[in-house]
Structure 1
Amino acid sequence: MNRRASGDRGDRPIAATFDRYLQDKGKGRGGQGGNYRRNAARELERFADWARGDRGPDDWDGIVAEADREPAFADLDDRVFREYARHLAGDRGLKPNTVQTYYAYVSAWCGWCVNEGYLSAHHAQRASATAPLPTDDGRKPGDQQAWTPEQRHALTRHVDQVARDAVETFTTLDEDTDPVDRGRARYRAIRAARDRALVFVVAYTAVRIGEVLRDPDDPRRRGVRWSEVDLDAGSMEVYRKKQQWDAASLPDPVLGPLRRYRRLLDPPSDRWPVFPTFDQRTLAGLVQDGLADRGLRPGEIDDRRGEHARDLLLALDADLRPPSLTTDGGRGVLRRVTEASDVTVDHPKHDYLAPHGGRRGMGEVLVRAFGYTVAARYLDNSEEMVRDRYSHIEAGELGDVATEALDDVDF
């Protein structure tokens, strides 16, 4: 297949531009973070593999006639992207909106290449190139779960009871209880109280989980700290999706679990994360490295660790600040408490109450109670986006109006 030259840079391998593109699109210092960067990197590598002939049907040899040459910009034209769209839309079990999303990553890179002078035209956006793509149904994959009021109440009741039992067990121990056994009970109580607080935050604040927990791919999202929580004012400062700090509301149902959890945790400073990780390997490395930095020898460190039932308790005692629970860890907590509860979950993608479902469920409550404008402010979204996302509510209300109108008509 003959290709049109792409200016003076036509011989440059397409993969040689990926790092620069990802740096431009990444977040944080040096553009090294962000979910978009991670997802785009994955899809660009898949595109490069396909262009080389490493992906696709058995008879696919790639877009380069010479076997010993990397795909270059001179090899790209509308037909290449049309074939890639056809490849993505093939019978591989991908949903239409997923195909659209995957293609969009490659298309965005193609647009960047035009701006940078590597390509003379945005081939990926030509009508002939996008024709094989399936029609997007307008839904985002996996983003349709919404906690019902019954699910919200059942899950919060469950974690509340678990926390109450664990705290009561700890606070009613005999005075002569072995210190290590007392430490184990305290650890279980702290963990249960943390899980309760997290579930209540997800259930009632409508914050995005990446706004309160740590995202390993974005250094700016290191998890909310106690210094950013004002329990008296009922608010906390979070780093929003719009890339700026903003206040999020803490409604009354959340304040009690947070207050009781903080009293039990008793963090040595306000710089501690509200939701620290409980991962044992992470905490072990934290206390070993932290105590070594303070001049303790290995034997002394082992003695200190032996005095505490868990490394988290030693970290609290020595003020060795752990990292926050990650977003994946938060999803793991919600999966674990959902499975331990009697909550029924019927969803094609998620077999547990996922974080975005808590946010979406709270959005349903707000739209129905106060309308789209107030809901948009609480959800930190535009009113247009909220109207689009919750359009089924307005449609139902209009249906009720139509029914009432029909009832009033005298036939």
Structure 2
Amino acid sequence: MTPRERSDQSLASSFERYLQDKGKGRGGDGGNYRRNAARELERFAEWTAGDRGNDDWTGIVPDDVDREPNFDDLDERVFREYARHLGGDRGLKQNTVQTYYRYISAWCGWCVNEGYLEAHYAQRASAMAPLPEDDGRKPGDQQAWTSEQRHALTRHVDERARDAVEAYTTLSQDTDPLDKQRARYAALKAARDRALVFVLAYTAVRVGELLRDPNDPRRRGVRWEDISLDDGSMDVYRKKQQWDAASLPDPVISPLRSYRQLMDPPADRWPVFPTFDQRTLATHVREELADRGLQPDVIEERRDEFARDLLLTLEEDIRPPSITTDGARSILQRLSEEGKVDIDHPKHDYLAPHGGRRGMGEVLVRAFGYTVAARYLDNSEEMVRERYSHIEAGELGDVATEALDEVDHIGT
């Protein structure tokens, strides 16, 4: 197809190919970037067609033409108007506007390389002029767990797990089998939650590296085979798209070891943090047992033998899926509320997963400096210095105060 023929195509005709190029996994079907870019491209397409904007906006196609917008309709004036639209009265933050525009700009650059467009109109100064200035902050979660919050949450989940495990292990011999199963299930759930909180609080591993991401098939959640409790390490699929070892500090080892002993997973390929969602597990169990040749009535009889489907998965070695990243947020919301953790944050009323990582970053920078913190956080030192610049600013302020005190003392 010639560049001329491409320019006559509708804008939407390029989206799937672009998203495949930018996606992750086999066929480019996964990844958060793909999902977010797809959302913004759809909004852009609707806006160009006149379906978004104010009442006077009719789109970029001439009023006397009846067709979808195509590449011939695009120029720097279109992108300038879209930048103005994003920065209008929708209530978006400055950095969010910048982020949304970058998705469209990246697609525009790809279109130039593929021959759909002759120039990267979105990057021209006149097109970008209406965009608000970037204030240097990134949109999203900037929460960092304080030492007090970390201790409050870990203390709560530790007490909760100890009580549940003790209640299970001290049951009398004549306890009803289903009641015993219920107690084991409660102990497993509490032990899993404790292990998850301790890992998030002390390892600084990204939650997307630890748990399952439905949009990225490579991120299936860490498994027991990925963990070495004796070496204090855990293999995770890093943000930089490769496997790497993360450290497991001492506070994490004991919760993980006791949790594994209680669970006794049938195989090392089991997820460390399986979902306990009953609806998900019920569907998973039915499908797996059906694949093994069991009839529906036999499957239901087998399920009735267990108080929870999770216990059946352990008995039959039916490997359940890992918790998702969204699932972890729900768990932390519940635990933060149960533990009555004092939280004062403009965006979150609970301790969000990424806040654990940022909190550990604060601790490491203050204790060992930027170089060591960068290694532990799996980031460049430059990025760590940027994200924790407030620490250095505070330290420099202390130095300035000491200098002023010294000068004043000499002056007297």
TM-score range (shorter-chain normalised) is over 0.9
- The DSSP-based 3-state class of the residue aligned with 1:58 is coil
Q: In the alignment, what sits opposite 2:35?
A: 38
Query: Deviations along 1:116-147, whole A, 9 cap, x unmatched?
Result: 11111100011100010001111112231100
1:155-234 equivalent positions in 2, closer than 5 A: 155-234=153-232
The reply to whether residue 75 of structure 1 matches residue 66 of structure 2 is no
1:199-278 equivalent positions in 2, closer than 5 A: 199-278=197-276
Q: In the alignment, what sits opposite 1:377?
A: 375
2:121 aligned residue (120, 123, 142): 123
1:329-344 equivalent positions in 2, closer than 5 A: 329-344=327-342
- Residues 7 and 119 of structure 1 are in contact (CA less than 8 Å); yes or no, is this contact kept in structure 2? no
Which one-letter code corresponds to 2:127 in the other structure? A
The reply to whether residue 356 of structure 1 matches residue 363 of structure 2 is no
- The DSSP-based 3-state class of the residue aligned with 1:202 is helix
- Residues 142 and 350 of structure 1 are in contact (CA less than 8 Å); yes or no, is this contact kept in structure 2? no
Out of 318-327 and 63-72, give the one that drifted further. 63-72
Q: In the alignment, what sits opposite 1:291?
A: 289
- Residues 211 and 239 of structure 1 are in contact (CA less than 8 Å); yes or no, is this contact kept in structure 2? yes
Which one-letter code corresponds to 2:398 in the other structure? D
Q: In the alignment, what sits opposite 1:59?
A: 56
- The DSSP-based 3-state class of the residue aligned with 2:48 is helix
Distance 1:365 1:121 in 2: 47
Query: Deviations along 1:201-234, whole A, 9 cap, x unmatched?
Result: 0000000001010000000000000000000000
Distance 1:24 1:35 in 2: 13
Which one-letter code corresponds to 1:53 in the other structure? G
Question: Between the two proteins, what is the percent identity of the paired residues?
Answer: 78
Deviation at 1:294, TM superposition (A): 2.0
Q: In the alignment, what sits opposite 1:3?
A: none
- The DSSP-based 3-state class of the residue aligned with 2:45 is helix
Deviation at 1:286, TM superposition (A): 1.6
1:313 aligned residue (311, 314, 321): 311
- The DSSP-based 3-state class of the residue aligned with 2:306 is coil
Q: In the alignment, what sits opposite 2:44?
A: 47
1:152 aligned residue (118, 133, 150): 150
Query: Deviations along 1:263-318, whole A, 9 cap, x unmatched?
Result: 11110000000000111111111211222222222222122111110000000000
Which stretches in structure 2 are left out of the alignment for 5+ residues? none
Distance 1:183 1:70, change over 3 A: same
Distance 1:144 1:300 in 2: 51
Distance 1:116 1:7 in 2: 12
- Residues 27 and 218 of structure 1 are in contact (CA less than 8 Å); yes or no, is this contact kept in structure 2? yes
- Residues 7 and 120 of structure 1 are in contact (CA less than 8 Å); yes or no, is this contact kept in structure 2? no
Name the Cα RMSD after superposition. Answer: 0.9
Distance 2:380 2:399 in 1: 26
Deviation at 1:10, TM superposition (A): 2.1
Query: Deviations along 1:366-393, whole A, 9 cap, x unmatched?
Result: 0000000000000000000000000110
Deviation at 1:67, TM superposition (A): 5.3
Q: In the alignment, what sits opposite 2:345?
A: 347
The reply to whether residue 104 of structure 1 matches residue 110 of structure 2 is no
Distance 1:20 1:247 in 2: 34
The reply to whether residue 25 of structure 1 matches residue 22 of structure 2 is yes
Which one-letter code corresponds to 1:307 in the other structure? E
